[in-house]
Amino acid sequence: MYQKRSWKGYWLFTSSVIDAIGEGKEISLIGFGNFSIGKVAARTGRNPRTGEALKIAAYNQPKFKVGQKLKDAVNKKQNYHFLGWQITSALVY
């Protein structure tokens, strides 16, 4: 039951971020980080096999900038509390 709930929460979060970024919006989660879009300019590249020049079109690149609390947690191994739960490690499914 908990895995089903956590999957719903994960899906809700990721789909919301994807939808907002797709609309060109920036998302800020204080202490965790910021999701935004960076624009990559068109440029000329080379085919590594043939050395032939080719044009690479401009595109949008999703970006994530880490928040200070997340940096501190990673570098100082601090434990944080979230909604009354002590977070010492995370499970990834």
Query: Where do the domains of the chain lie, and which CATH numbers do they carry?
Result: 2-87 (4.10.520.10)
Name beta bridge partners: 33: 29, 66
What is the model's pLDDT at position 68?
87
Stretches where the chain sits below pLDDT 50 are 91-93
Q: Which of 47, 37, 17 is nearest to 29 (CA)?
A: 17
Residues 22, 60 contacting (CB under 8 angstroms): no
What is the model's pLDDT at position 77?
61
Q: What is the pTM of this model?
A: 0.64
